[in-house]
Structure 1
Amino acid sequence: MSQNGKVVKAGLGYTIGNYLIQGLNFLTIPIFARLLTTADYGIYNTFAAYESVLFIIIGIAIHTSYKNARFKYKYESEAENSEYNFESYVSSTMIMIVVNALLAFVILNAFYPFFHNILSLDRIELILLVMYSFGAAVVQCFNSNAALNYKYQSFLKVSFINAVGNIGLSLIFIFFMFKNNRYMGRMLGTTLTIFVISVMIVISFLRQKRPNHVKEYLQWGVNYSLPLVPHGLSQVILSQFDRIMINKMINSASAGIYSFAYNIFTILLVTYQSLDNVWAQWFYERMNEKNYTAIKKISGLYVLTLFIFTACVLLVCPELILILGSAKYYNSIYCAIPIIVGGFCSFLYLIPSGVEYYYEKTKYIAIGSVSAAVLNIILNYIFIKKFGYIAAAYTTLVTYFLYFMFHFAFARKIQGFHLFNNKVIFSTIIALLALDFLTIFLVKLIIVRWIMAIVLFGVYLLYEEKRFGIAGRFVKSKLHR
């Protein structure tokens, strides 16, 4: 199979498979939305937000080093009898994650009163937090490793088992063991599944290649990834901290409504992350070839395609909320609309950040992300207090746009010239901002919004057909049989 064919197949595999897996989660959103009170929903999502922080600390963002380590150390079969190879690098990173998780377990328990007062989690919940974070760090490394060779089947297998186990155990715990504290059933179901999977992954990596030269590997790996820890924490602040602030400044019910709006954005996030698994590896390969023309051309098509998809979801998101939730989540419509636009800007960040990762300029990534996160906290503190939880959606939009702009500027500085199709990128941002306000204005006019979505998608299909002629070739092949 050609390289382009391999990339396209992997992209489709990641996206379609992810939707099939996430489809299970989407189908259970109405179930958990009804089983959990808005307060329970807010408590669980706050727990998940804490996990997003501890996961980064335990993993030290070491998975981000895999793409560069792949070219630095090479696979054992390519390493020409070198004592250093990529497989032993990966197993060495597993040792580091295990040690970090044990340290986190000891520290959180040794200083339990302090962390209990800050996080409002009891001892059992803190232990679950460490287990969940450890599991997430290991699974993230597994996924990054699989993406290097477009091995989407391995990624999908682990993701499917995690999704089914997560949902199944959560429902069992909620119905039979934690009827009065249903958020605990959800926590246990989520945590135990990913923890068991992660232990099996660690054993598999260690059996594949025993770790050696651990000190040398981790010295390079940590030097690469450590600046990305503040970057990762900043991403958590941008995506999760608003829920924590709403929970503290207003109440857990408001945090639950706001969190539900984020579930609609998950539809888009699945697509963004699936395609980025393929885009990132393809980008590295083209950068190695110095094929900048291909990067500029494909980046424009990539952004345009995801703009159309995002715009269509934006136009129909009020109905998605009513279908997946219930009347008690109706106000989340006014959060979901700006969150979707901000989320598109977070996707755009992935494009210029590839330059920073490629040249190992991770300090620039940290600077841009921390700046955006600090701004997000300040804006949230000011506007949540003044306008309520819906204001957090708009502060998220503003900070995600600035987040993208920071990294766009840094990529230009590092590369020395504009590598991407800027005309398409900024046109889609302006168009989506306009569509944000239009959707709010037309929120009661369901038919008008759906017609707009269908027309927009139809025009895009005609444009793609004009460029590639896929449907035309298919019809001709059928007629000539």
Structure 2
Amino acid sequence: MENMGTNDKTREKKAGNRVLKAGIGYTIGNYLLKGLSFFTIPIFTRLLTTQDYGKYNVFLSYENIIFVLIGFAIHSSYKNARYRYGLASEGAEKGKDYHSYVSTTICLVLCSTAGWLLAVNIFGDAIENFLQLDKVCLNLLVLYAFGNAVMTCYNTDAGIDYRYQKFIKVSGINAILNILLSLFLIVFVFQKDKYIGRILGSTIAIVVVAVNIIIEFWKREKPCKDLSLLKWGVKYSIPIIPHGLSQIVLNQFDRIMIMKMGTDENAGIYSFAYNIYAIVQVTANSLDSVWGPWFYQKRKDNDLFSIRKYSGYYASYMALFSSAIIFMAPEIVKILASENYWDAIYSVIPIVAGGYFAFLYTIPSCVEYYYGKTQYIASGTIMAAIVNIILNFVFIKKYGYIAAAYTTLAAYFLYFLLHYLIAIKVEGKILFSNKVMLGCSAGIFSAVILGNVLIDHIILRILVVLLLCGAGLIHEEKTLGILKRFWRSNR
């Protein structure tokens, strides 16, 4: 019995190290990938006018909407499908296992893309007038969304088994191709309408990567003939579509409204501010790739103590990290862009704070996904998105585009709060610490206020950042010792 207990502890330690290594690997890999983008931001902001930069980012905003529709949000079903269907190597029926399911979902994405391309070319004139994009850009929009949908499926699939190396490889190829093709097209081909060169370079890169992903999926396992698997997946994912669209409204629609109610230049400056928000987003997405599968396993094992404990650490460390970004935002903006973009400083602080609450939502939302209550997920996000649209309409008109950053912060806080309450309803009890969640929320709002007060005092802001980092590191090493464990596991 003693040996059995020791073996269980050994297996648990190995599993923990695997999760830890994957989490750090995803984060480092994503930073390296984002570093490529950050390195090229000063180049693109100098090659593109603020108008061109605004048009490209509005194109991306539309793409994020079409991506959800083209992909049916089918990737959201993968975690559940992994436990529902299992693998052939685990005894599941070959042709009806998880890998067959994934291959079949790709067929759905391909059929959807063909339908969208047909619609765009038949009803092109009406869509052109509504979106203010020409027919070439509309076709590129659909193709880019297709590539994004396939890549999201691939990254979700890789994340389930903590295969962060595959994610880094595919995303790295896409990022490098995107940058090189865009620079070539902007400098040598589209010297007048440079935003088209940026759009075309991005689209070609992601489509090339997507085609290779599809080949890899179908080599691993052919699509299944039993459509009952796909019917389940569509039924699970359909309610996620309005949720995904509402997320886009929260994350992107402010830029579209600024362009409609203001100018392309304002949209470009405001869009640039989201490059700093991306620091928080990349970190959150990296960790969520590991947090989601870990939560599923712990909830399946009914290990509620670990969920409560580590969700508290997770929320707290991300709050410290986001606060540090808020205090260093003015310097980050000045390093990354020319003086034409420096007005973005006043938008960055609330946008980064909103990004923290976008991250915080991922903690309670795991409960909704675990139980398959996707209709609840959609309702909470739709309510937050409606509030965001109303606030944007009122305050952008009255106070200008900077107001959109604060309305987005308010909407994201509501977004987290609604999903937290929904998670309690679905679970039937509170899995997470109310005290920690309240403390983190108060801390972020305090950082927004203090960040604005100290916006012209760089020395004081640096001292605050050093204090935050020091306190976080000391607490982490006393409670978790992640850095020490990671160092030991790689020796």
Normalised-by-shorter TM-score class: over 0.9
Counterpart code for 1:420: F
Deviations 1:302-340 (A, max 9, x none): 111111111111110110000001211111111100011
Counterpart code for 1:85: D
Counterpart code for 1:107: A
Contact map agreement 1:162 1:197 (CA 8 A) in 2: yes
Q: Which residue of 2 aligns with 1:180?
A: 192
Matches within 5 A, 1:58-457: 58-81=70-93, 83-457=95-469
Q: Tell me how far apart the structure 1 counterparts of residues 54 and 192 of structure 2 sit (CA, whole Å).
A: 16
Q: Tell me how far apart the structure 1 counterparts of residues 43 and 465 of structure 2 sit (CA, whole Å).
A: 28
Counterpart code for 1:97: V
Contact map agreement 1:353 1:411 (CA 8 A) in 2: yes
Q: Tell me how far apart the structure 2 counterparts of residues 466 and 158 of structure 1 sit (CA, whole Å).
A: 36
Q: Which residue of 1 aligns with 2:4?
A: none
Q: Tell me how far apart the structure 2 counterparts of residues 38 and 375 of structure 1 sit (CA, whole Å).
A: 29
Q: Tell me how far apart the structure 1 counterparts of residues 295 and 483 of structure 2 sit (CA, whole Å).
A: 28
Structure 1 residue 475, shift from structure 2 partner: 12
Structure 1 residue 94, shift from structure 2 partner: 0.5
Deviations 1:177-230 (A, max 9, x none): 011111011001110000011011112212221112352122100000000000
**Cα 1:401–1:470 shift into 2, 3 Å:** closer
**Cα 1:449–1:176 shift into 2, 3 Å:** same
Structure 1 residue 471, shift from structure 2 partner: 8.3
TM-score for the superposition, normalised by structure 2: 0.95
Counterpart code for 1:291: D
Deviations 1:39-94 (A, max 9, x none): 00000000000000000000000000000000010011113445510111001001
Q: Tell me how far apart the structure 2 counterparts of residues 366 and 13 of structure 1 sit (CA, whole Å).
A: 31
**Cα 1:452–1:88 shift into 2, 3 Å:** same
Contact map agreement 2:21 2:486 (CA 8 A) in 1: no
Deviations 1:144-172 (A, max 9, x none): 00011000000000010011000010000
SS of alignment partner, residue 437 of structure 2? helix
Identity of aligned residues (%): 49
Contact map agreement 2:350 2:409 (CA 8 A) in 1: yes
Q: Which residue of 2 aligns with 1:479?
A: none
**Cα 1:246–1:280 shift into 2, 3 Å:** same
Higher mean C-alpha deviation, range 33-42 or range 208-217? 208-217
Structure 1 residue 466, shift from structure 2 partner: 2.9
Q: Which residue of 1 aligns with 2:6?
A: none
Counterpart code for 2:345: I
**Cα 1:472–1:397 shift into 2, 3 Å:** closer
Q: Which residue of 2 aligns with 1:465?
A: 477
Contact map agreement 1:384 1:390 (CA 8 A) in 2: yes
Contact map agreement 1:61 1:228 (CA 8 A) in 2: yes
**Cα 1:473–1:321 shift into 2, 3 Å:** closer
Higher mean C-alpha deviation, range 199-208 or range 168-177? 199-208
Structure 1 residue 10, shift from structure 2 partner: 0.2
Deviations 1:118-145 (A, max 9, x none): 0111111011001100000000000000
Structure 1 residue 462, shift from structure 2 partner: 1.8
**Cα 1:103–1:456 shift into 2, 3 Å:** same
Structure 1 residue 473, shift from structure 2 partner: 9.8
Structure 1 residue 472, shift from structure 2 partner: 8.8
Q: Tell me how far apart the structure 2 counterparts of residues 465 and 10 of structure 1 sit (CA, whole Å).
A: 19
**Cα 1:189–1:144 shift into 2, 3 Å:** same
SS of alignment partner, residue 77 of structure 1? helix
Q: Tell me how far apart the structure 1 counterparts of residues 471 and 73 of structure 2 sit (CA, whole Å).
A: 41
Q: Tell me how far apart the structure 1 counterparts of residues 218 and 368 of structure 2 sit (CA, whole Å).
A: 31
Contact map agreement 1:89 1:214 (CA 8 A) in 2: no
Higher mean C-alpha deviation, range 348-357 or range 420-429? 420-429
TM-score for the superposition, normalised by structure 1: 0.97
Counterpart code for 1:299: S
Q: Tell me how far apart the structure 2 counterparts of residues 474 and 384 of structure 1 sit (CA, whole Å).
A: 47
Contact map agreement 1:338 1:393 (CA 8 A) in 2: yes
Counterpart code for 1:361: K
Deviations 1:329-386 (A, max 9, x none): 1111111000111110110100000000000000000000111111111111111111
Structure 2 unpaired stretches of 5+: 1-10
Query: In the alignment, does 2:48 pair up with 1:31?
Result: no
Q: Tell me how far apart the structure 1 counterparts of residues 337 and 218 of structure 2 sit (CA, whole Å).
A: 43
Structure 1 residue 465, shift from structure 2 partner: 3.0
Contact map agreement 2:86 2:92 (CA 8 A) in 1: no
Contact map agreement 1:92 1:214 (CA 8 A) in 2: no
Query: In the alignment, does 2:52 pair up with 1:43?
Result: no
Contact map agreement 2:95 2:222 (CA 8 A) in 1: no
Contact map agreement 1:79 1:85 (CA 8 A) in 2: no
Higher mean C-alpha deviation, range 9-18 or range 82-91? 82-91
Structure 1 unpaired stretches of 5+: 477-481
